[in-house]
Amino acid sequence: MNALEQELTAHFGDRVGRGRTLADLTSFQIGGPADLFVTVETAEELARALAAAARNRAPAMCLGAGTNLLISDRGVRGLVVKLGESFNYCRIEQTGVEAGAAMAFGALVETTVDRGLAGLEFGEGIPGSVGGGLVMNAGAFGGEMARVVTAVHGVTGCGEIRVLSRDEVGFAYRRTNLPAGFVITRVDFELEWGDRDALRGRVAELRAKRAARQPRGLPNAGSIFKNPPGAFAGRLLESAGLKGARLGGAAFSGQHANFIVNLGGARADEVRALIEMARNRVRENSGVWLEPEVRFVGEW
């Protein structure tokens, strides 16, 4: 047992996992083990776990719902933290919404729409947690997190509990500039009153659009590449002949070229090699160097 494991076990007991495989915690169903894994239930527990990792010079990361990740087959060194059920909540007062970072983003969309609150409808069908959605500045159909967030609560990589203003989050297209190692525990939003039936109609419309476009039934991590300025990654991939391209257990979807699906038993190395092959081919075909939206995690 190393020093970090000892320190964590002293506090969290058998909640500390050693060598826990992460594949089942991702939508891709891919990924090797975490050296150490712990689920925390309070901001103080999170602070304790992160401070212990920092003291022991071990890397630490937070796993959300795992819907935007490609985790290496070799797994993740150091500590992987997951937020427990006590971070799955929301409180609404007038147009102000406070959501725990482990709440499913889709559930938050549904709850706010049911209250007649406008601003989060774009999130219909975006899987993942509120915390992961914040980190990725998740968005679709012209909307994104950045427009409705007022504050972000969490813990720094050294274990200090902090509240960040909207400006300190540093929102950009499908990314943020949070302080290194910052783990989000809660996100505050300011929404607007809207017409409940109109909002429900809009959500149903977006659901139908998504159903028509996205592959279903096979594990994936959503869009593999970000859309480059003024273009669509899916179209560039399709015109480079990549729809359906396959490597081992991984393939570009025949339905939407910007999705890679796990056909069964795909390895992270195969997915990554397919991504690099596609980037090169798109550059040769159209001169555009695509930037991955999916995050590569762990030891490669």
Ligand X SMILES: Cc1cc2nc3c(=O)[nH]c(=O)nc-3n(C[C@H](O)[C@H](O)[C@H](O)COP(=O)(O)OP(=O)(O)OC[C@H]3O[C@@H](n4cnc5c(N)ncnc54)[C@H](O)[C@@H]3O)c2cc1C
Query: x/- contact string, 88-117, with ligand X (CB under 6 A)?
Result: -------------x----------------
Report in angstroms the alpha-carbon separations of 203 from 113, 196, 200, 210. 9, 11, 5, 11
Is 239 one of the annotated active-site residues of the chain? no
Q: Is residue 33 near ligand X by the rule CB under 6 A?
A: no
Stretch in the footprint of ligand X (CB under 6 A) among 43-51, 109-117, 138-146, 235-243: 138-146
Per the annotation, the verdict on 55 as an active-site residue is: no
User: Given its phi and psi angles, is residue 69 left (phi above 0), alpha (psi -120 to 50 degrees) or beta?
Assistant: beta
Buried/exposed 139-161: b ≥16 CB within 10 Å, e otherwise: bbbebbbbbbbebbbbbbbebee
Q: Least distance (Å) from ligand X to the CB of residue 297?
A: 7
Residue 62 near ligand X by CB under 6 A = yes
Which tokens hold the place of 287? 């001169």
148 binds ligand X, rule: CB under 6 A: no
Please pick, from the candidates 23, 63, 169, 282, the single residue that binds ligand X as defined by CB under 6 A: 63
Render 81-128 in DSSP notation, one character per residue. Answer: EEE-GGG--EEEETTEEEEETTSBHHHHHHHHHHTTEES-GGGTT--S
- For 204, the enclosing helix (H) or strand (E) is helix 196-213
218-277: which residues touch ligand X (CB under 6 A)?
A: 220-222
The strands making up 259-262's β-sheet, listed across from edge to edge, are 220-223, 259-262, 250-252, 246-247
**Nearer Cβ to ligand X (173/193):** 173
Contact call for residue 138 and ligand X (CB under 6 A): yes
Catalytic residue list contains 293: yes
DSSP 8-state assignment for residue 141: T
CB 209 → ligand X: shortest distance, Å? 10
Q: Can residue 120 be called a binding residue for ligand X (CB under 6 A)?
A: no
3-state helix, strand, coil in the chain (%, to 5): 35, 30, 35
- In the complex with ligand X, which residue's Cβ is closer, 16 or 70? 70
List the catalytic residues. Answer: 174, 223, 293
Q: Which residues bind ligand X (CB under 6 A)?
A: 27, 61-69, 83, 101, 126-129, 131-133, 135-136, 138-140, 174, 183-184, 214, 220-222, 295
